[in-house]
A and B are shown apart, each in its own frame.
Chain A
Amino acid sequence: MLLFVGLPSILTLWTHRSESIQRRAFIPLSILVLIGLGLTATNSAGGQVGGIAEIGLYVVGIVGILCIGIYLMVFGGVTPVGPVPRGWRTTGGLLMISAVTLGGILTIDPEWSPFTTPNGWDSYAASGIVGLITASLFGAVIVWLYGDQRWIALIGLILTTSLGLIGALLLIESSIITKTDLSEALTTAIGSTFGLLIAAILAIGLMVQIESKAVVPRTSPPLSKGEIERMEQLIQANVRSEQE
């Protein structure tokens, strides 16, 4: 219930404007949902929902570290908006690498690892690799089309794609993930992309239809002579004070 109602609900709250009541309720409710997921994961270990909740907690941890790392790396450099002090880029980079390493350790599950890999993690790892390969290849094509000699980004993206493909092959060879996991992840990626496109096209079409039939608001009457004179007085007063 928490997983299938709680998560979409907090996602819905997050989409509201920052000063709204719904948005203010987002953080406390998210914490409650996470605590609920944690309790589910520890109480019903072995069950399907318990397994998913356990994966969810690991994912929240990894994605949290990743998000902080990305934030520090992007806003710790030369940006038009730079709320993070300079010099935090290295920390951001380290956090990003830590998140990827943590995910890798959970996937490979070496003997010395202090973490227990939850059931179904292979499905998450396979989807992650599919997402990584697809996004990096798409990014490489975009950067290449954009031009402007952004060679470092382009080479990095091509390397990420290649490493993703080689990693997928190695993980399949060592039976860490199966070809079925990869196949399901690919199907989900294509299906979800189509689904999002259909949802966006129909939702935008619906909104345009409704808005185009909406009653046009009454326009305000033209300015009266007195209002124009008052406006001129104000402008003159401001211009004079600036000149002085």
Chain B
Amino acid sequence: MSLRRLSGAGIGTATAVIIALMMIEGEESPAIEDRLRSILMQALWTAMIAWMIIAGSMLGLLGRGRAPWLQVGGLLFLSLSTLGILAIIGEIPTEDVLGGLTIRWAGLATGVMIVLGYVLATLTASMDEEEDPLLILGREQ
């Protein structure tokens, strides 16, 4: 499947989900500016944490030349710069915010995991039994 079709599927799905859930939210749906600001903040928090985790996962490569040092340094720089930007605009996540975010991430991951498990289980259930070609050869002889 091409990347273009995959992107199209992703954008289409995201639009359908957003419309459906905004219809459920009804009048309690926040103003578009508030929602965009909130999305931007959460995107920055997520990116900051993701860069930190990627930098941490590369620590084992530090003894292998100059490039890993530069990469870890660059990722930490990106992460700390994001923290700096958040500090300037006064949006450093507090303990409560991080707590709420952790719970919601866990919830989203669980929902996705259920679907992924179901799809994999269904696909492997419908797979045909493959017979060993050597066994078939032995029977023919």
Contacts and interface: CB of A to CB of B under 8 A. Distances in A.
A137 B54 CA distance: 29
B88 interface: no
B87 interface: no
A129 B111 contact: yes
Contacts, number: 279
B17 A133 contact: yes
A190 B30 CA distance: 14
Contacts of A89: 121, 125
Given A48-B99, A79-B124, A179 B115 contact: no
Interface residues of A, number: 97
A184 B39 CA distance: 10
Given A78-B130, A135-B112, A187-B39, A70 B24 contact: no
Nearest to A160: B115
Interface string A127-142: 1111111111111011
- Dominant secondary structure of chain A at its interface with chain B: helix
B84 interface: no
Nearest to B120: A74
A7 B44 CA distance: 19
Contacts of B107: 123-128, 130-131, 185
A180 B78 contact: no
Contacts of B47: 195-196, 198-199, 202
Interface in B56-81: 56-57, 59-60, 65-67, 70-71, 74-75, 78
Contacts of B49: 8
Interface stretch (A109-117, A203-211, A218-226, A230-238): A203-211
12 contacts: A8-B53, A48-B96, A124-B110, A131-B107, A145-B1, A150-B122, A193-B14, A196-B50, A198-B47, A206-B74, A206-B78, A210-B67
What are the nearest 10 A-B pairs in CB distance?
A131-B111, A127-B107, A195-B46, A191-B42, A12-B56, A70-B117, A15-B57, A132-B111, A199-B50, A195-B43
